[in-house]
């Protein structure tokens, strides 16, 4: 993987860059649609490619390992062949899903034992087997196995957890570096900074993570319920330490405002279920602000979903129609709203990139934050 910095905003730490992966080039800052179970929920690959020009999607080790399982994925020739997405894929390691989705789990030095949320069966994830699994999935960017601490988190727990995440990282790197890609496409491993909301732990973790000298770095453990100002404070502490010339990925973030503020702090990559999950409940992100399409206000509004959008479904369908579909729990409602929201998120990061290149990012960001904080 190669990362080139192309521009830096004069009034913030925002940057524009380009990442070359084995399955194609990504222009940063970028948002990665979440495709948990080998699909971006309710969105067809054809739409990702043609309607919204997604540049990279995310997959989840935890879900893919449980279903369809490694046997099927390996027989398919990897996830790219299985779902026919030919662009870059990043997989999360399961180091978050096992904590957020499973109830019975035990975290030990060896790894994490948990019960499947699907059938209750018992499994063990270790730094080593999670590397092997991501090799089999065939992701271009694979994530280290970490512990994402909850919020709030006791200082001593956060410190001990962090030390274990660092020991796990060494084991991840050893396994990754002694194995090869299975399908002829290069893969790269990103380590993850943790440390809850404690400045000294974040600094210690960022220094440790940087010392591994991988091709990119991630920040985890944020957007887990802490106030936004604490998230921004931690991003700022960490981006000061992580190397300039490597991509920085802030995991699981966030709202449009969170994304803009973190771009301003020097983050290059984001992912979040918000645009797709909230779409299914009727929350729409627009250039004018955030809408709940289920509101009575839209009952007889026959204007397009978004008049100045270049997305087909925004043009040909009305707010009243989408309101009806979502309220009736029609599958098509989820499809239209998900595509609309992903289109908005990708528009937002593309705009950010253009403004950074023009040197006008900061003022534009301030203006957009005011608009996107509003609920219409």
77 touches 113 (CB < 8 A): no
> What is the C-alpha to C-alpha distance for residues 317 and 312, in angstroms, rounded to an integer?
8
Least distance between ligand PRF and beta carbon 162 (Å): 12
Verify binding: residue 96, ligand PRF, rule CB under 6 A: yes
Task: Find the binder of ligand PRF among 162, 192, 290, 348 (CB under 6 A).
Answer: 192
Is 220 annotated in a binding site? The answer is: no
7 touches 16 (CB < 8 A): yes
| H/E stretch holding 281 | none
> What is the C-alpha to C-alpha distance for residues 269 and 57, in angstroms, rounded to an integer?
11
Question: Shortest Cβ contact with ligand PRF: which residue?
Answer: 220
Verify binding: residue 34, ligand PRF, rule CB under 6 A: no
Residue of 9, 140, 268, 271 marked catalytic? 271
Based on the residue annotation, tell me whether 271 is a catalytic residue of this protein.
yes
Is 200 annotated in a binding site? The answer is: no
Task: Find the binder of ligand PRF among 57, 90, 224, 265 (CB under 6 A).
Answer: 224
Complex with ligand PRF: residue 100 or 179, whichever CB lies closer: 100
CA angle, 82 as apex, 51 and 86 as ends, to 5°?
45
Task: Find the binder of ligand PRF among 220, 247, 275, 282 (CB under 6 A).
Answer: 220
352 touches 30 (CB < 8 A): no
Verify binding: residue 125, ligand PRF, rule CB under 6 A: no
CA distances from 100 to 111, 145, 167, 193, 224 (A): 16, 14, 22, 18, 10
Residue of 9, 92, 140, 314 marked catalytic? 92
Task: Find the binder of ligand PRF among 95, 127, 247, 275 (CB under 6 A).
Answer: 95
Verify binding: residue 158, ligand PRF, rule CB under 6 A: no
Residue with tokens 């937002």: 348
> What is the C-alpha to C-alpha distance for residues 219 and 201, in angstroms, rounded to an integer?
13
Least distance between ligand PRF and beta carbon 202 (Å): 13
Verify binding: residue 223, ligand PRF, rule CB under 6 A: yes
User: What are 350's two structure tokens?
Assistant: 């593309």
Based on the residue annotation, tell me whether 92 is a catalytic residue of this protein.
yes
Which string of DSSP letters, residue by residue, matches 49-100? IIIS----EEEEHHHHHHTT-HHHHHHHTSHHHHH---S-EEEE-STTHHHH
Complex with ligand PRF: residue 16 or 143, whichever CB lies closer: 143
Verify binding: residue 35, ligand PRF, rule CB under 6 A: no
Give the interface size with ligand PRF as a residue count (CB under 6 A): 15
**Measuring CA to CA, which residue among 170, 165, 192 is closest to residue 111?**
165
Verify binding: residue 92, ligand PRF, rule CB under 6 A: yes
Residue ranges of the annotated binding site for substrate are 92-96, 146, 194, 221
Residue ranges of the annotated binding site are 92-96, 146, 194, 221
**Which residues participate in catalysis according to the annotation?**
92, 271
Q: Which residues in this chain contact ligand PRF in the complex, by CB under 6 A?
A: 92-93, 95-96, 143, 146, 148, 192, 220-224, 251-252
């Amino acid at each position: 993987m190669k990362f080139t910095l192309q521009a830096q905003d004069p009034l913030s730490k925002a940057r524009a860059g380009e990442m070359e992966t084995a399955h194609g080039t990504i222009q940063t800052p970028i948002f990665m649609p979440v495709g948990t179970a080998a699909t971006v929920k309710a969105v067809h690959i054809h739409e990702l490619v043609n309607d919204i020009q997604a540049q990279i999607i995310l997959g989840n080790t935890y879900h893919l390992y449980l279903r369809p399982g490694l046997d099927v994925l390996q027989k398919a020739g990897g996830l790219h062949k299985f779902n026919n997405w030919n662009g870059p894929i990043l997989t999360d390691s399961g180091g978050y899903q096992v904590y957020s989705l499973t109830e019975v789990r035990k975290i030990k030095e060896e790894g994490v034992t948990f019960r499947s949320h699907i059938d209750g069966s018992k499994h063990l994830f270790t730094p080593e087997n999670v590397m092997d699994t991501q090799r089999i999935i065939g992701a271009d960017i694979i994530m280290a196995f970490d512990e994402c601490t909850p919020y709030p988190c006791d200082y001593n727990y956060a410190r001990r957890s962090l030390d274990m995440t660092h020991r796990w990282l060494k084991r991840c790197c050893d396994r990754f570096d002694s194995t090869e890609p299975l399908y002829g496409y290069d893969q790269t491993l990103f380590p993850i900074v943790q440390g809850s909301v404690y400045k000294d732990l974040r600094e210690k973790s960022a220094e440790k993570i940087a010392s591994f000298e991988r091709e990119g770095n991630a920040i985890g453990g944020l957007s887990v319920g802490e106030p936004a100002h604490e998230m921004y404070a931690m991003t700022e502490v960490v981006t000061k330490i992580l190397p300039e010339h490597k991509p920085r990925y802030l995991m699981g973030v966030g709202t449009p405002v969170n994304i803009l503020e973190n771009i301003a702090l020097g983050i290059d990559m984001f992912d979040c279920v918000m645009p797709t999950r909230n779409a299914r409940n009727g929350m729409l992100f627009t250039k004018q602000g955030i809408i709940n399409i289920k509101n009575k206000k839209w009952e007889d509004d026959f204007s397009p979903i978004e008049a100045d959008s270049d997305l087909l479904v925004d043009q040909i369908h009305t707010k009243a129609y989408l309101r009806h579909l979502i309220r009736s729990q029609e599958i098509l409602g989820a499809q239209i709203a998900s595509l609309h929201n992903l289109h908005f998120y990708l528009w937002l990061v593309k705009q950010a990139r253009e403004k950074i290149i023009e040197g006008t990012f900061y003022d534009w960001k301030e203006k957009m934050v005011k608009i996107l904080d509003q609920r219409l």
